[in-house]
Amino acid sequence: MLPRLCILAIMAAAVLGLVGCRRRPAPETAAHASEMQGHTKNAYSHTDSLIRTMTVEQRVGQLFMPAVYASDDRATLARITAYASKHFVGGIILLKGDTKGARAIADTLRRLSSDPGMWIAIDAETGLAMRLKDAPAVPSAATLGNSADEKTVYDHARSLADDCRSTGINMVLGPVLDVESDPKGFIGRRSFGADPETVSRLGIAYALGLEDGGIVSVAKHFPGHGSADEDSHKSLAVIAKPLSYLYEHALPPFRSYISAGLSAVMIGHLAVTSIDPEMRSAALSEAVITDLLRRDLGFSGLILTDALNMGGARKGYDGDIDPSVAAILAGADIILSPTDTRAGIEAVKRALADGTLPDSTLNDRLRRILTFKRRFLKNQRRDT
């Protein structure tokens, strides 16, 4: 699969003059990329020694981020206590709730988690108000795409980063880098628009605003959900476009994000027929994650699946091994919202024990996770 993808990518680049592929990065994005490389190089020297101190349960748990409602009720706090203390998960994703609940969860996890801390993530495409009912809102990506320049988008994201830090959140599942091809389609107003150049410029401004504010950005939904009508929460979205279309229209914003040295990419539940003819969800596809994103596009940051409890994940995989194991083998670092977190962790441990999942593969994923945690969480306040 890799040689075919690389050959077609070179042909597409030569013929189409791709948006953002060979363009020199703006000074601020080049500086960000250089800074990130420095952080990564320094952090790598610390991660291997930490890995050697971790049990199998601790190493496996780091790859999982279950979802919880942003509530401070007793049942929720007991649940996250179990996630941290018994299953050693690497983080959580906040669903609907309020800022009081989000802060209580963040404070509880800080007290419970050992070095290097835990990811606390949230969808915030319209600000924290998207999930937290009493939090500030920002305009939708479509509104910003129609009227805003890069500075305005950066300022919105920088303000969002401040809101996140004050609430205990350290990861935002955004920006949306999907290039919409139909304003009435599933992505719709979640996208910055139909022009790859505009989506690239504004998406990077959004991500830089978050990361300059100390919050991990997660670009989504690779390799691009904009031309699919299906809601991947319910079913597997199909992208039946030629590879040349993807390189010309869907991939340029992700290329620009990678060139800017930004941190993380989420893989969507998309069956992209020109990349993986077996019609697997991209989040479970080695052809998409390892061949295209890692090797062809050269991305070295964190790779997250979209939520594995979504309909698109269930309908986009019929393999014999657990979906969590399949995603890790395909190249993912972090499993978001599995249907059953405990079962997923146990499946990965079994795969390690029987050799389905090499120990070196687990450590590769873990090394990247710990490196980014060191960069973003090392200054995070801990309650004692």
Q: Which domain holds residue 361?
A: 2-377
Q: How do 64-65 and 119-122 pair as beta strands?
A: unpaired
Angle at 267 between CA 4 and CA 214, to 5 degrees: 125
254 occurs within a structural domain:
yes
> Is 87 one of the annotated active-site residues of the chain?
no
Of these residues, 233, 249, 296, 320, which one is catalytic?
Answer: 233
323 occurs within a structural domain:
yes
213 occurs within a structural domain:
yes
pLDDT at 381 over 80: no
> Is 107 one of the annotated active-site residues of the chain?
no
Asked if 144 contacts 108 with a C-beta cutoff of 8 angstroms, the reply is: no
Helix 359-377 / helix 323-330 crossing angle, nearest 10 deg:
80
One-letter amino acid identity for 214?
A: G
Structure confidence by residue, pLDDT tens digits, 209-240: 999 999 999 999 999 887 666 666 666 788 88
Domain count along the chain = 1
Confidence category of residue 289, pLDDT binned at 50, 70, 90: very high
Q: How do 237-239 and 216-222 pair as beta strands?
A: unpaired
Specify the CATH number for the domain of residue 109.
3.20.20.300
69 occurs within a structural domain:
yes
One-letter amino acid identity for 346?
A: E
Average pLDDT rounded to a whole number, residues 307-329: 83
Single pTM value for the model:
0.88
pLDDT at 312 over 80: no
383 occurs within a structural domain:
no
Distance in angstroms (rounded) separating the CA atoms of residues 267 and 312: 12
54 occurs within a structural domain:
yes
Q: How many CB atoms lie within 10 A of CB 264?
A: 26
Of these residues, 98, 291, 296, 306, which one is catalytic?
Answer: 306
The least confident of 20-29, 241-250, 276-285, 358-367 is 20-29
CA-nearest of 48, 52, 51 to 62 is: 51
384 occurs within a structural domain:
no
CA-nearest of 82, 18, 66 to 336 is: 66
H or E element in which residue 266 lies: strand 264-267
The answer to whether the bond into 253 is cis (omega within 30° of 0) is: no
